[in-house]
Amino acid sequence: MNLIYTIKPIDLAGHRFHIQLDIHHPDPREQLLKLPAWIPGSYMIRDFSKHIEHIEAVSLDKTEKKLKIEKLNSHTWAVTTLGADHIKISYTVYACDTSIRSAYLDEKRGFFNGSSVFLAVDGKEQEPCWVHIQAPEEHKDWKVYTTLPEASKHPKKAKRHHFGMYQARHYDDLIDHPVELGTPHYIRFKAHGVLHEMVFSGIVPNLDLKRIADDCKKICEYEIAFFDPQHKKAPFLDVSDRYLFITFVTGNDYGGLEHRSSTALLASRYDLPVKGQKETSADYIKFLGLVSHEYFHTWHVKRIKPQAFVPYQLQKENHTRLLWIFEGFTSYYDDLILYRTGLISQSQYHQLMQKNIQYIEQTPGRYKMSLAESSFDAWTKYYKQDENARNSLISYYTKGAVVAWLLDLFIQTNSAYSLDDVMRHLWQTFGQNFFTGDAKGLTEDEFADIVYHVTGVKIHKFLDHYVYGTKDLPYNKFLKPHQLKLSWDDQPTQVNIGITYQTQNDCVIQSVLEHSDAHRAGLSAGDTLVAIDGIRVKSLDKILQRYQKGDTAMVHAFRRDELREFKLTFTTYTQPQCRIQALAKKIDVMTTKKSSKK
């Protein structure tokens, strides 16, 4: 065992883990150590190294001797080894990030991704790693939840969820299995014979675990069979004998991060079902959609990857113009699978798609940024959105999902195939042997040729217009052959000045849409609305109900600590609502199930 990591919660109130790294046979002159700058799946430089509070190195050959350790840049340290054959690195990590991207620790739970706590040993990234996970002194009743294999001479007799030694095949494997510590709510189920575990940390009164497990079983079984209809083999069996859903439950959070045999989720307790609740609420649909999305990533992005991610370069940005495929297509299938499995109705599915279309049509940034550009600039724009984001960018998740839907309809109109066939081809070509054979990824310009190879449909112009260009999506052009129609309810309800705002204390503008009434009047993000025509702004919506198109009003607002006056002319009504209609009975292209003939 040349590389042994030991991690222990040492200061629950102060949110600190202690990590010890034992390195046998280090570089005899200088050993470099590196911590990733980002975590795969979340495309932003996060500088995890800033949370390392103290680090030291010692030689353990004969007597413990302190070694010089020097930081070279934001993510790299150099240890002067002096010919030592065994060295130990000790450091403390501050863990107070409640997201699913880093690490967290308090008196109730612990959580960490390896990318934020485990230093990589330069030159030894392909060597096996052992991890000793130790219990905090205060909580011997805590358990361990991870898909890292336990290091046991008799794996079948290993006690699951216990503190002790775990193992990884190499560093990339080590950092792709998040770990949950504590006493969470727990349930398990099998999907096509394979164990799936779910843990929920946080206060969740009356949580209906059985309903969640039953519903998630449908999702998992469908997605396994979707990619492998013949054998129904789970993809993660190449690295683990089970799959783990780790969910941290809060008051109002949402998000997920995929891993090779698990996922870490954030969910609001109000999105989770209560025992005895029979209806499927919009909030619960949101949670099921998140589960469906992250599980789909087990195939699509963890194994089917852009070439730019093969391998990941963890010290710098990894740019690709293909996130609209890897995130957008996943966002298309996550809700579609809920419908195909009967978890939501056709009407509920259409409402989800309508919401996506509504977002696109209300986003001026769609004319400035293509989907390909949105993908490429995820690192600096999508993940670092400011008050001007709606005016300058488009989401490769949301527009990517709608483009995937229209592309699916386009393929079905012009062939006997569907996007399903393309996805299975991608799996067979790039995914199913990714961790066991030659790893290769999808290059930046080969997708159109792959679609043509699988379906015989040429999509080059489609991509030029709607992926690499910024043309408006002609929805009904693609819907009409399938007896579907998108219509807009253009009955005006009230004037819309084109802002988003928060009213926790005062009415503060968060963003101003370009070319809106507010923009033309001179209002700006950050302004605090004080009065409109002399009436104090307490409820902006109620005030706006008193105006009609063509009216004008004097607006007083504070910009910083200066009182400003603006003349506002009302020209725009609230954005019309879109509606997807079936023009003929029993028309349901969403349930199309076709198998490849090529």
Class of domain 187-299: mainly alpha
Q: Contact at 8 Å (CB) between 326 and 300? A: yes
CATH of 499-572, picked from 3.90.550.10, 3.40.47.10, 2.160.20.10, 2.30.42.10, is 2.30.42.10
Phi/psi at 171 (5° precision): -65, -45
The confidence score (pLDDT) of residue 593 equals 45
The confidence score (pLDDT) of residue 271 equals 97
Give the integer Cα–Cα distance in Å for 473 and 471: 6
The confidence score (pLDDT) of residue 418 equals 98
Beta pairing partners, 189: 196
The confidence score (pLDDT) of residue 573 equals 77
Number of Cβ within 10 Å of residue 426's Cβ equals: 21
Number of Cβ within 10 Å of residue 121's Cβ equals: 22
Say if residue 521 is exposed, middle or buried (CB neighbours under 10 Å; 0-12, 13-18, 19+): buried
Please check whether the two domains, 187-299 and 305-483, share a CATH topology: yes
The owner of tokens 């789970």 is 234
Give the integer Cα–Cα distance in Å for 142 and 216: 26
Number of Cβ within 10 Å of residue 122's Cβ equals: 16
pTM of the shown model: 0.94
Beta pairing partners, 5: 21, 131
Q: Which CATH architecture has domain 305-483?
A: Orthogonal Bundle (1.10)
CA 243 → CA 120, 159, 396, 417, 527, distances in Å? 25, 17, 27, 31, 48
Angle at 354 between CA 350 and CA 359, to 5 degrees: 155
Residue 447 DSSP class: H
Residue extents of the structural domains in the chain: 3-183, 187-299, 305-483, 499-572
Phi/psi at 329 (5° precision): -65, -40
Fold type of domain 3-183: Immunoglobulin-like (2.60.40)
Number of Cβ within 10 Å of residue 189's Cβ equals: 17
The owner of tokens 């949370």 is 51
End-to-end CA distance of the chain: 47
Give the integer Cα–Cα distance in Å for 260 and 235: 9
Tens-digit pLDDT profile for the chain (598 aa)?
889 999 999 999 999 999 999 999 999 999 999 999 999 999 999 999 999 999 999 999 877 899 999 999 999 999 999 999 999 999 999 999 999 999 999 999 999 999 999 999 999 999 999 999 999 999 999 999 999 999 875 545 556 789 999 999 999 999 999 999 999 999 999 999 999 999 999 999 999 999 999 999 999 999 999 999 999 999 999 999 999 999 999 999 999 999 999 999 999 999 999 999 889 999 999 999 999 999 999 999 999 999 999 999 999 999 999 999 999 999 999 999 999 999 999 999 999 999 999 999 999 999 999 999 999 999 999 999 999 999 999 999 999 999 999 999 999 999 999 999 999 999 999 999 898 878 899 999 999 999 999 999 999 999 999 999 999 999 999 999 999 999 998 776 789 999 999 988 899 999 999 999 999 999 999 999 999 999 999 999 999 999 999 999 999 999 999 999 999 999 987 778 899 998 875 445 555 544 444 3
The confidence score (pLDDT) of residue 528 equals 97
**How are beta strands 262-268 and 242-250 bridged, if at all?**
parallel
The confidence score (pLDDT) of residue 360 equals 97
Q: CB-based contacts of 347: which residues, under 8 Å, 6+ apart? A: none
